[in-house]
Amino acid sequence: MVAYKINSLAYLFIWLLLVQCSSDGSNEPIVLEASCFDNVRNGDETDVDCGGSCSKACEPQEPLGIPTTGYTTPPEYSGYTLVWSDEFDGNELDTTKWGFHLGDGCPGLCNWGNNEEQYFTNSRDNIYLEQDNLILTAINEFVSGKNYTSSRIHTDDTFEFQYGRVDIRASMPSAPGTWVALFMLNKDYTIENPDDYWPSGGEIDIVEYLGEDADNILGTAHYGTDFPANHNFDSVDFPAVNGDPFDETYYVFSIIWEQDRISWLVNDVTYHTITPETTEGNGQPYPFNDAFYFVFALSVGGNLPNVSPLPADFPDSLIIDYVRVFQEE
């Protein structure tokens, strides 16, 4: 890790020197060509510093380890109707249900508001379906100033709903520095003008997970009249069950969302609840009786992880078997 940081800083230092002093005495920057020794995938490389024009051949990648075990939930519940779902059983992502958040969030939400290190794409390298699962893959490659690519999808304007039970069956990535967020935002929230409805419109994090700790997840609610002065959040951890890490098997992450109440569950075990009494106890209104939409993201780096990503740990993937929304009859 130390060597990688030193290499990266040295590379940046050389670039700054070249900006200041070009060969013709001008201040125009000299663009450094991609090399086979810069610890990122770029140029025509097929992996980090190998393949393409590099003399080093790439080692074969291990096949994606889709779990064969884990918890599952029923396709129906007494007193509820299935109103929306995606079983990810086609050949490609259903874009009548999902849209993409692309790039780095700029100019409205640069680095997606959390100092994240990835560039989001809709490339089949970063997002695809396999064996009836949605696969979001983070890759160490240099794109638009970022050392990693990944993917982030949403249902803004395709599916927004108020209340119900949500079940998401998923298996997490292993790489330290990865950050999974399967969450919901107010129907009026936009990337272009994030401050208009965040945190005042609310955010429901069905599950967050950090690759540095495969034995723990978080369920969180964000709220408050404005940021940062009145931003509040209530977050509760949940540990792995029976010694099965979250990156080795399927778990089901759920919320039961009712008027004036949200409960978080893992494998049907309730571990967190929020009500108006919670937010009002912090001097803030309760924003969770409005309609919301889904956002699913696999990020790299950022404010929440406590460790820096290492290129050698990538690619790595988030695997989602299904997402289902039920509402009371």
Q: How far apart are CA 76 and CA 122, in angstroms?
A: 32
**Per annotation, catalytic residue among 45, 116, 141, 203:** 203
Distance set, CA 152 to CA 17, 58, 146, 294 (Å)? 36, 28, 15, 11
- The candidate with the shortest Cα–Cα distance to 158, out of 1, 292, 39, 51, is 292
Query: Is 208 an active-site residue?
Result: yes
Q: How far apart are CA 290 and CA 188, in angstroms?
A: 10
Percentage helix, strand, coil for the chain under 3-state DSSP, each rounded to 5: 10, 40, 50
Residues whose CB is less than 8 angstroms from the CB of residue 198 and which lie 6 or more positions away in sequence, other chains included: 185, 186, 189, 222, 227
Query: Is 203 an active-site residue?
Result: yes
- Whether the upstream peptide bond of residue 107 has omega within 30° of 0, thus cis, is yes
Residue 304: is it exposed, middle or buried by C-beta count within 10 angstroms (0-12/13-18/19+)?
Answer: middle
**Per annotation, catalytic residue among 45, 141, 208, 212:** 208
Catalytic residues: 203, 208
